[in-house]
Structure 1
Amino acid sequence: MTIMLVEDILALDEQTIKNHLSEENIEIIQKHFGNINNFLDSYQEKANLSLDLYFSEPKTYLKKLAPNLTNTRRVIVKKVGEEPKIVEIDKEQDFYKFKRQVVNGTIECIEMDSNIECWVNENGKPLHLPINFPFRPGADIVVGDVIFCNNDNELIGLSDTQISQVLAYLKVVGYDWSKVEYDPDDYIHIKVMDWSL
């Protein structure tokens, strides 16, 4: 692998950078930062760190880039009928297992704005779990306990701005919908593909 310093690629556009990096390295950047531009924008001032350290030891690299990062990531857990809670999770903890515990089952992701994702119980509606909140009023509902987290970077939790956005959204839609009845058939959609010629 070619060793490139961040300063060597700051002036390049995203396509040129992609041409210099392997697909595997691009996937690593996208997993942790969402895209190459976020990666560069976030850490321009630390241009003396080489990308090879990022690819070989991403946790060490992130600590050097941002020493103020803690050993925890912030998420928001919203249980049915309760106010949302900001929770700090140890970065060494199995995050997949934690999400499954929160939703009490198989997880499914709902993509939201501002690089925020909401993890729900994939079978929540067929199981007729109680309503947590309306996702899009008049269009869809979120059922069962959920967790909100940052979809840009699994090592970094929700930012202050993202937390404010989620809390403001939940305050607007309301905290307690648990006693509202619904028919799961109204919200479970099966897409049928017509493959006939």
Structure 2
Amino acid sequence: MPPGDDSSTRKSTHILVALVENKPGVLNRVASLFRRRSFNIESLTVGHTESPDISRMTIVVDTRKTSAALVEKNLNKLINVIDVQDVTHAPIVVRDLALIKVTAPAERRAEIMQLVDIFRAKIVDVYAESVIVEVTGPEAKIDSMVELLHPFGIIEMVRTGRVAMVRGSGYRAPYVLSDNGTNGLRVNPTPNL
């Protein structure tokens, strides 16, 4: 499997990257659109970009009941949405992060540490009877780690959801930072995938 590939590119899901204005209420408008149209979100992550005026959403959509093109079209109609790209079939790097709190009595801790090393994960917290493991990678890697940690006893777990970025220089953002030092935005004349 090439780096960055995982099961997230199977036919029933699509990965959309949306650039939106960094303003209050934008996430609510996107979520409301999905609710109204009955689009099923598998994963939604939102974060800052290189511009303080722009946020980036990575949305993994279940497309068994609707087309990705319809979701993309509806997102592009929202006022604060700058650009939406379906990057499912582009050369992308996809990552997810999980924190997993596992029962780890002293006599089993070495086994857990060995699994952590094999998966190139990290132990980020140690307590008397538990550890918190941080694992980053494609969805399949995290699923495998969770499966192998289950016999030890998973106490608690949280996952960030997937984030994706097109590899190389094949994608240019549809905006560029203003040259006048005001941190404003202007449209990039040649965005492409």
Q: TM-score, normalised by structure 1?
A: 0.31
Q: Which has the higher contact order (CA 8 A, sep 6+)?
A: 2
Q: TM-score, normalised by structure 2?
A: 0.31
* Bigger share in helix: 1
* Bigger share in strand: 2
